[in-house]
A and B are shown apart, each in its own frame.
Chain A
Amino acid sequence: MDSLVDVWPTPRAAYLHVPFCRHRCGYCNFSVVADRDDLIERYLKAIDKELRILGRPVVDTLFVGGGTPTHFDIKTLDRFLGMVGQRFQLADAGEWTMEANPEDITSEKITLLAEYGVNRISLGVQSFNPNKLALLERGHSAQVATAAVELAAEVIGNVSIDLIFAAPGETLADWLTDLELAIQLPLQHLSTYALTFEKGTRFWSRRERGDLQSPTESCEVDMYQRTRQVLAESLFKHYEISSFAKSDARCRHNLAYWQGCGWYAAGPGAARFVEGKREVNHRSTTTYLRRMESGQCPTAETEKITREQYARERAAFGVRMIDGIDLDVLTSETGISIAEICSDSIGLSISEGLVEVPSPHWIKLSERGILFADTVASRLLG
């Protein structure tokens, strides 16, 4: 038993980070370089070098995120996709997602993606409202976004979009309009995020100056609750705090994160989980390149987690899934009984009506608990 539970999950997923963007949006704190296409050649060599040592593993899911992976011109995109195909073997019925920005979508690029086997596309639409798009400093219009979704649906099939709510000045009515427009599109999946102000972004300092103001907390709650309602009526199932999917279109790659599976990752700022170690590459693209070029390791932080931490993390991130988590499965896969070590905190969350026990060994967020997922999660982390 002991030796069995000491085994860490073999990675069956991979994340590749493409740090290039045309422009850095005011709210963005991702690992991104804007207007530095001069680094693309060096980047392609570096990430190829980082992946080469893996020895072409078989993966069930591949996720190419950013940044903006579709920012590459068609020739570069071709080389990049070819490289990815050489470094990984996608299992039968595997999921290969590419993030994309609407303004980059051309039928040429989309066809190329499909040819290489990309079968899921996640578009950074954020909104259809021209004022909101301008405020968020996005480079597309509602028309461009709509056309991109339609084209991708036609060629690739499985399309997801990201939408941001609770932007400065946004009203509930504005947001409902965005949602209405979204559900008319041929989508399989939707991710909705409340705009967060992150330290180090221009939005942060604008808010400090009093130049930007977020909607009130109760407005944000209303937006979120209405989102759940509207999307449910359109047959999008709410399956994680910010994720909604048609029947079987859940993002398998993200599920792997939340279910505590292992995954590979490469590129600046990319985080991986291999052999019980959580590692993050250096977030600065130039540092990442320099390190790769000089034969150094790109990792900036390594954390070897204990079995207990592993179990706690799985519980804390797993509980964000609306169906909840099977504590028995968690115990058998980690060797740690969360029900025991977190009995007080789970008990508290139950007594406060945040957590429910739908069947023995299961816990899930209650209707009210969905609004307090961070409270529940941080208690599980101990």
Chain B
Amino acid sequence: MNRREALKGLGLSMGYVIAAPTAIGVLQSCSGKEESWTSVFFTEDEKHVVKHLVDIILPATDTPGGLDLNVPQFVDMMCNDTLKESDKELFHQGSRFFANEYQQRVKKDLGKSNKEDVKQLFSLYFDLDQAEQDQVKLLQSRSVENVSGEDMKNFTIYKFLLMVRSLTLLGYFTSEKIGKEVLSFDPIPGAYKACIPVSEVGNAWTI
């Protein structure tokens, strides 16, 4: 049997498998508007503000933004399914502290916030110089038992915001649309080329 025949034979058995139903990602299953979904984890305030946060973290440009891919619903589902109870509690605690900050600065409820106001508050936490960023990371690397009263507010606010941020990146960059239409998709390369110009590929490989 030569290699071509071997591949042909294999194709038959693979076809069988490809035809089997695959899990449908939550993003594909919900094409409706943001308002049409019910959260499984977020409070009403969180559902409202996460929409703005996702839009701030990955806005639409000539490529789709996080909202175009229903990332808020994905973040809600992931928090519900993958966070431990203690981390869920930290998330809620952080969002409450964030709401308090918002209330104090903007004099409005977080549940009625608009994107611009949220972005202003968000930038206070994220537009930092290197030394400040390192401090944030150091604090985040601690476990909650080792965080004292004064630091607790910042600690939980960052837990909340950074969890939204990382799940936003995950939901966006592992989505089918970005994976197939924006990044360079090559599920079965077949051969390996060790060193080629970036220009031959373009954007980063999907995987």
Partners in one complex: no
List residues of B whose CB falls within 8 A of some A CB. Answer: none
List residues of A whose CB falls within 8 A of some B CB. Answer: none
